[in-house]
Amino acid sequence: MNIATLHYYFPTKEALVKGVVHHALGRFRTTLTAEGGATDLVRSHFEGLRRLGREEPQLFAVMGELALRAVRDPGIAAIMREIDETWHATLRGLLRRAQKDGALDKKIDPSDAAALIVATLKGVYLLPAGSLRQERLTQALRQLERWLGITRGRTSLASVAPRRTLPRPVE
Amino acid sequence: MNIATLHYYFPTKEALVKGVVHHALGRFRTTLTAEGGATDLVRSHFEGLRRLGREEPQLFAVMGELALRAVRDPGIAAIMREIDETWHATLRGLLRRAQKDGALDKKIDPSDAAALIVATLKGVYLLPAGSLRQERLTQALRQLERWLGITRGRTSLASVAPRRTLPRPVE
Amino acid sequence: MNIATLHYYFPTKEALVKGVVHHALGRFRTTLTAEGGATDLVRSHFEGLRRLGREEPQLFAVMGELALRAVRDPGIAAIMREIDETWHATLRGLLRRAQKDGALDKKIDPSDAAALIVATLKGVYLLPAGSLRQERLTQALRQLERWLGITRGRTSLASVAPRRTLPRPVE
Amino acid sequence: MNIATLHYYFPTKEALVKGVVHHALGRFRTTLTAEGGATDLVRSHFEGLRRLGREEPQLFAVMGELALRAVRDPGIAAIMREIDETWHATLRGLLRRAQKDGALDKKIDPSDAAALIVATLKGVYLLPAGSLRQERLTQALRQLERWLGITRGRTSLASVAPRRTLPRPVE
DNA sequence: CATGAATGAGCATTCATTCAT
DNA sequence: CATGAATGAATGCTCATTCAT
């Protein structure tokens, strides 16, 4: 695509970045709109991210670029900050509701757990990792879900589970 | 420092980057050399990273830069991959030894937990977050340590604990 | 106005420039159409330019632009050349008639004086000058009119004389 | 010359413009440093400009560019304004001294005459004119010098007089 | 008639690099 | 050893123009 054409639709680079972020955020929000209780929502958030990672991997590449570009660009940094806090607040609220529903251990601090979830998801999805990426991603999320007690049971979701790209290393 | 002089010591930008990585890795290794059992080692690894985060924050900025470049630069990607796998293998080994020592719940998969730890640490340390960065970092690590059962007790380490930069939000 | 629409009426920028020149020349010609003797015509030419300078300053801005483009654009250069020579010839003729009428010193070379008038008017009207622009313009024209002996007397024109924007500097 | 090399010496376009102006002004100042009385100085100023017009015509091309570019660029406008006022003040002072020396008609207003000189010189030197440029320039200056009473007599300067590029048009 | 969409060319600037001294 | 000078390549952007509708 001709660069001048790009400038026709997005007058500045900053406008383009904002457009991309806007689109990406819309896609990410689809992972938090499922029906059901708080636990189901958290579960489907994880599942939705796995699906996006499979079907629209560019979304994560783009967010990774932005996250790292935020170091130098105060405008992008502001956007990322807001995303982070909104994300954290949403998860915190869901976990608190899950505790009220009796689905989450009451000894867990919802804010701490939300921070851990956000950090982990950012770690696995935004940072490029080597050939074992998919394997490590699956492992990290599995452990997180186990501790949260939201592991998927024998649900139909198993059909869309991420394929193991590499056999589990025998140790 | 004069840029031409820099090029005298590091012929290309890539050489400079590698030099910096080499130095940074040496620093990070100091967080895994404590004496004591496996549990103590994991504990001191977390503690060491907290200390580096306070005293040499540039180290993390540099690793973040590296992660960014890895997307486009295969050479750096190879380095990052190796770091990731070595780190994961080290933690996995420590967790397995901790299980043998009876210090870690036997139902936990050491590889899964190691993957979660690596992902979380990368998430909190390499990706820039907003004004609540320190708060979220503390929370994520605290939750991770709780689940691992390696929370610091009434040890002298408390004196070097990261200061809470913001009061825990009342919810 | 939409730029594409502009291109509909003026296919190229050069065509647009020519259109503007055509209009501007028409306006400038109105300063040379007064009735009366040669001296009156010269006088009213000066007066007319002063009026245009007040009422339609864009005309002069446009001619200045044109002079700039003439350096690189041979087409515009040709137009400017023709304007210059026509202007000079007209003034030269008027001055010669003024000499015949006994209104202008016979020792003055009409062609030389016409060249001086053209140069001065271009200097004051086409070239941007600073905050003292109006003051300097008034001074230059006043001196020129004095030497030509066509200073306005107690005529009603005094009412439209350019206002002094700054007090004459005390020296 | 490579454009990047230009940027090595002049970091911005504005710096380059300032460098050029600085050089040009230095050259122009050489036309005002002759010895002798005020009248001689004015005479040699005119003569010096004629010489520069012959030997370093780029100086005038550059100043013309700047004068017209000043319309859009406030920075250049400020520079031009200052040049104008300094030039006017210098000539005004010289003319006043010439009056005291009895070399200039006492009825002439030095400030008005200075404004006329500046305007004329800018008109003939800075604005591109057609094929008769040299002829018109000579005429305008000759008339100006006659009125000022500073025409060169039978001096040796005749040897460096601008060559007539075109025969005087027979009218 | 009028205009939104698209684009080639140019411009001011930065960056990583080379080279002669 | 160190550095000033020089440059090719890329980047973000503007401008004049074309074209299909």
Domains of chain D: 12-148 (1.10.357.10)
Greater confidence, A70 or D168? A70
Residues 8-27 of D with CB under 7 A from strand F: 8-9
Find where tokens 């050089």 sit.
D23
Distance between CA atoms of D28 and D122, rounded to whole angstroms? 13
- The answer to whether some atom of strand F lies closer than 7 Å to the beta carbon of C75 is no
Residues in chain C: 171
Per-residue pLDDT band for B132 (boundaries 50, 70, 90) equals confident
- The answer to whether some atom of strand E lies closer than 7 Å to the beta carbon of D12 is yes
Asked whether the beta carbons of residue D143 and residue C115 sit closer than 8 angstroms, the reply is yes
pLDDT of res. D152: 58
Q: Count of CB atoms within 10 A of residue C106's CB?
A: 8
Minimum distance, in Å, between the CA of residue D103 and any CA atom of chain C: 17
Any alpha helices (H) in chain C, and if so which ranges? 3-9, 13-29, 38-55, 57-70, 74-100, 110-126, 133-148
Q: Which residues 5-64 in chain A show a CB within 8 A of chain B?
A: 61, 64
Distance between CA atoms of D10 and D13, rounded to whole angstroms? 7
Nucleotides of strand F lying closer than 7 angstroms to a protein CB: 1-9, 12-20
B26-48 mean pLDDT: 90
Residue to mutate among D112, D117, D131, D151, with most C CBs inside 10 A, is: D112
Q: With H, G, I as helix, E, B as strand and everything else as coil, classify residue B13.
A: helix
pLDDT above 70 covers a percentage of chain A that reads 87
For the ranges A70-74, B10-14, C147-151, the one whose mean pLDDT is highest: B10-14
Asked whether the beta carbons of residue D116 and residue C144 sit closer than 8 angstroms, the reply is yes
* Strand nucleotide closest to residue A6 (CA to C1'): E6
Per-residue pLDDT band for A162 (boundaries 50, 70, 90) equals very low
Output the pTM of the full model. Answer: 0.76
Greater confidence, A141 or B132? A141
Chains in contact with B, where contact means 3 or more Cβ–Cβ distances below 8 Å, are A
- Is the pLDDT at B117 greater than 60, yes or no? yes
Yes or no: say if D74 and C128 are a contact pair by the CB < 8 Å rule.
no
Tokens in use for A21?
Answer: 């972020």
Measured CA C70 to C1' F17 distance, in angstroms: 21
Minimum distance, in Å, between the CA of residue B142 and any CA atom of chain A: 7
Selecting from A80, A112, A136 the residue whose C-beta is nearest the C-beta of B128 gives: A80
Which amino acid, residue D32?
L
Chains in contact with D, where contact means 3 or more Cβ–Cβ distances below 8 Å, are C
- The answer to whether some atom of strand E lies closer than 7 Å to the beta carbon of D75 is no
Q: Output helix, strand, coil percentages for chain B, rounded to the nearest 5.
A: 75, 0, 25
Residue to mutate among C73, C99, C139, C150, with most D CBs inside 10 A, is: C139
B74-86 mean pLDDT: 86
Q: Give buried/exposed letters for C15-50 (b at 16+ CB in 10 A, else e).
A: eebbebbeebeeebeebbeeeeebbbbbbbbbbbbb
Chains D and C touch (3+ CB pairs under 8 A): yes
Q: Which residues 68-107 in chain C show a CB within 8 A of chain D?
A: 68, 70-71, 77-78, 80-82, 84-85, 88, 92, 96
Asked whether the beta carbons of residue B119 and residue A140 sit closer than 8 angstroms, the reply is yes
Ranges of residues in chain D with a pLDDT under 70 are: 130, 152-171
Yes or no: say if A42 and A95 are a contact pair by the CB < 8 Å rule.
yes
pLDDT of res. A132: 79
Distance between CA atoms of C10 and C19, rounded to whole angstroms? 8
Nucleotides of strand E lying closer than 7 angstroms to a protein CB: 1-9, 12-20
A50-59, B73-82, C153-162, D150-159: range with lowest mean pLDDT = C153-162
Q: Count of CB atoms within 10 A of residue B61's CB?
A: 15
pLDDT of res. C169: 36
Greater confidence, B116 or B152? B116
pLDDT in tens, chain C (171 residues): 899 999 999 999 989 988 998 999 999 999 998 788 899 999 999 999 999 999 998 898 888 878 877 877 777 888 888 899 999 999 999 999 999 998 999 999 999 999 999 999 999 998 877 678 888 999 999 999 999 988 754 333 333 333 333 333 333
Q: Which residue is nearest to nucleotide F14 (CA to C1')?
A: A4
- The answer to whether some atom of strand F lies closer than 7 Å to the beta carbon of B2 is yes
Chains B and A touch (3+ CB pairs under 8 A): yes
Rounded-to-10 torsion of CA C104, C109, C110, C113: -90
A88-106 mean pLDDT: 94
- The answer to whether some atom of strand F lies closer than 7 Å to the beta carbon of B131 is no
pLDDT of res. B65: 79
Asked whether the beta carbons of residue D127 and residue C129 sit closer than 8 angstroms, the reply is no
How far from A146 is each of A151, B89, B104, C101, C131, CA to CA, in Å? Answer: 6, 21, 15, 112, 77
- The answer to whether some atom of strand F lies closer than 7 Å to the beta carbon of B12 is no
- Is the pLDDT at B152 greater than 80, yes or no? no
pLDDT digits (tens, 9 = 90+) for A107-130: 999 999 999 999 999 999 988 776
Distance between CA atoms of C141 and C143, rounded to whole angstroms? 5
Which amino acid, residue A58?
Q
A131-148 mean pLDDT: 89
Measured CA B7 to C1' F2 distance, in angstroms: 10
Measured CA B16 to C1' F10 distance, in angstroms: 21
Enumerate residues 6+ apart whose C-beta is below 8 A from D46: D141, D144, D145, D150
pLDDT digits (tens, 9 = 90+) for A28-41: 999 998 788 899 99
Q: Which residue is nearest to nucleotide F17 (CA to C1')?
A: C12
- The answer to whether some atom of strand F lies closer than 7 Å to the beta carbon of C1 is no
- The answer to whether some atom of strand E lies closer than 7 Å to the beta carbon of A35 is no
